[in-house]
Amino acid sequence: METIITPTRWNLNNLQSGLDLDKFKKHMSSIKEKLIDIEMSSKSNTLYENELVTLSEVIKQIESAESFYYCLTTENIDPSFLTSLNACISALKSQVRYIISNLQESLGNMKNLLIGLTVLIMKVLYRSY
């Protein structure tokens, strides 16, 4: 188990996985897995409430990880670990933006479809009278 041995300026035990960096890495991997599942579901244009709730929770976890990262930058942590962690957080944030962008596009397409169907129904009803 990789741990931080130097004295800290923050009480990192109260944040994320504390000083257990291996546990934190596993946590980041689980976030990535959740995002992959959500992304796969979003490609089929069917995200249900539970997936949207999970996405919201994942966003909060990424924000928390980013805060933890900033705390670590003030400590005596291996710079290569910090670089890797920052890259991981950036990749997760990009993945979230991609998923949200796809959802917005799908909603826009649905809106246009509904408008088109409404116009068509109005035309059919207008011809009936």
The model's pLDDT over 23-74, given as tens digits with 9 standing for 90+, comes to: 888 989 999 999 999 998 887 767 778 888 999 999 999 999 998 888 888 8
Question: Residue 15: CA atoms inside 13 Å, Cβ hemisphere, count?
Answer: 17
User: Quick check: is 68 in a domain?
Assistant: yes
User: Quick check: is 2 in a domain?
Assistant: no
* pLDDT mean across residues, the chain: 82
Distance (Å, whole) CA 20 – CA 103: 35
Number of domains in the chain: 1
pTM: 0.74
User: Quick check: is 6 in a domain?
Assistant: no
User: Quick check: is 7 in a domain?
Assistant: no
The domain of 115 spans 12-128
Single-letter residue type at 5: I
For residue 64, CA distances in Å to 57, 68, 96 come to: 10, 6, 15
| Contact (CB, 8 A) for 68 and 24 | yes
pLDDT of residue 129: 59
User: Quick check: is 42 in a domain?
Assistant: yes
pLDDT of residue 103: 84
pLDDT class for 87, splitting at 50, 70, 90?
Answer: very high
Residue 24's contacts (CB-CB under 8 Å, 6 or more residues apart) are 16, 17, 65, 68
Tokens 């290569």 sit on residue: 80
Among the ranges given (4-18, 50-64, 72-86, 111-125), the one the predictor scored with the smallest mean pLDDT: 4-18
User: Quick check: is 4 in a domain?
Assistant: no
User: Quick check: is 54 in a domain?
Assistant: yes
User: Quick check: is 53 in a domain?
Assistant: yes
pLDDT of residue 30: 94
